[in-house]
A and B are shown apart, each in its own frame.
Chain A
Amino acid sequence: MDLGPHAAFIWISYAAVTVTVIGLILWLLADGWKQRADLAALERQGIKRRASNS
């Protein structure tokens, strides 16, 4: 694929978007895992929510 004389600008743009979007996805997944782990640890200690069983 020949992207002409300004190919570097095009590739850097797409790389910036890819890296940022993947970074956001990894951050969201890691945060979700951490919250679930913290919640499970508290429930293992017998500390459960009063109002709901979810």
Chain B
Amino acid sequence: MQTIMQRLANPTRFMELSARLLPWMTAVSAILLVWGLYLVFFDSPADYQQGETVRIMYIHVPCAWLSMMIYGLIALSSFGLLVFRHPLADVSAKAAAPLGAAFTFLALVTGSLWGKPMWGTYWVWDARLTSVLLLFFLYLGLIALRSALEEEGAAAKLTAVLALVGVTLLPIIKFSVNWWNTLHQPSTDFTSTIDPSMRLPLLVMAVAFTLMFFAMHLKAMRNEILRRRVKALRTQAVAGRDRFATDGATQGAAE
């Protein structure tokens, strides 16, 4: 019996399944986003210390969560490419990298904009902020390395190796607030460290952002599969022309 991963290994089947899933995922994430924004601006209190600035947290935390989750997905896809040679693993890793870079950038920007009124500065070189900045550079490195290499197979393998080496950054980011004395507060514990009136909007926004990412990722994977089909057809057309020219020349010489 085929596992779901084996069944999805066929790009044509993946295209059919993703075409059915994509509208639903987009609709659910949009509904959750609207509900989340309503809760954030009309149904959640100001914080007793941060005041209204706490509302930045409802977008900063989902972006920060996605910055790490997307890298985890890229690392998993890279492992799938190098170990199992799954045909869609590289498509997944390539499609996720720009999205991960964008959400990491947003985590840094929203964090800075929260930091200025709360800490009195946009930026400090503390362990959490610096390690997330390194993650952003790592995403850019993955994108640059892939685009620097002409041969697609070699680019995929080298990028996968870099992604797996870079995965060591994830525990450093996660535990940086425990291992070092940082200005950044400890990680948000959804069960105890946040008041229920703020927990619900944060959870709704986190789920909405996560679903939104998966919808974008599916779309980016579909685009990448189409791009590879276009490239394969162009190569096929050039090979066909060359064969036709060679056959014609051979025939002409024989006559």
Residues in chain A within 8 A of chain B (CB atoms): 1-7, 9-10, 12-14, 16-17, 20-21, 24-25, 28-29, 31-32, 35-36, 38-39, 42, 45, 47-50, 52, 54
Residues in chain B within 8 A of chain A (CB atoms): 12, 15-16, 41, 46, 51-53, 55-56, 59-60, 63, 98-99, 102, 105-106, 109-110, 113-114, 116-117, 212, 216, 219-220, 222-223, 226-227, 229-230, 232-234, 236-237, 240
Is A31 within 8 A of B223, CB to CB? yes
Is A49 within 8 A of B223, CB to CB? no
Instruction: Give the distance to chain B from A16, nearest Cβ to Cβ, in Å.
Output: 5
Chain B interface main SS type: helix
Which A residues lie within 8 Å of B41 (CB)? 1
Residue of B nearest to A4 (CB): B52
Bound together, the chains give a CA A19 to CA B28 distance in angstroms of 21
Which A residues lie within 8 Å of B113 (CB)? 9, 12-13, 16
Bound together, the chains give a CA A14 to CA B230 distance in angstroms of 38
Within 8 Å by CB of B236, from A1, A50, A52, lies A50
Chain A interface main SS type: helix
Which A residues lie within 8 Å of B15 (CB)? 54
Bound together, the chains give a CA A38 to CA B233 distance in angstroms of 10
Quick one: given A10-B55, A10-B56, A42-B234, are A20 and B102 in contact (CB under 8 Å)? Answer: yes
Beyond A20-B106, A28-B220, 13 additional pairs, beta carbon < 8 A:
A9-B53, A13-B110, A16-B109, A17-B59, A24-B98, A24-B102, A28-B219, A31-B223, A32-B219, A32-B226, A39-B233, A42-B233, A54-B16
Is A47 within 8 A of B110, CB to CB? no
Bound together, the chains give a CA A46 to CA B220 distance in angstroms of 27
Within 8 Å by CB of A21, from B98, B109, B212, B222, lies B212
Residue of A nearest to B229 (CB): A39
Bound together, the chains give a CA A50 to CA B191 distance in angstroms of 55
Instruction: Give the distance to chain B from A52, nearest Cβ to Cβ, in Å.
Output: 5
Quick one: given A13-B109, A32-B226, A52-B12, are A4 and B220 in contact (CB under 8 Å)? Answer: no
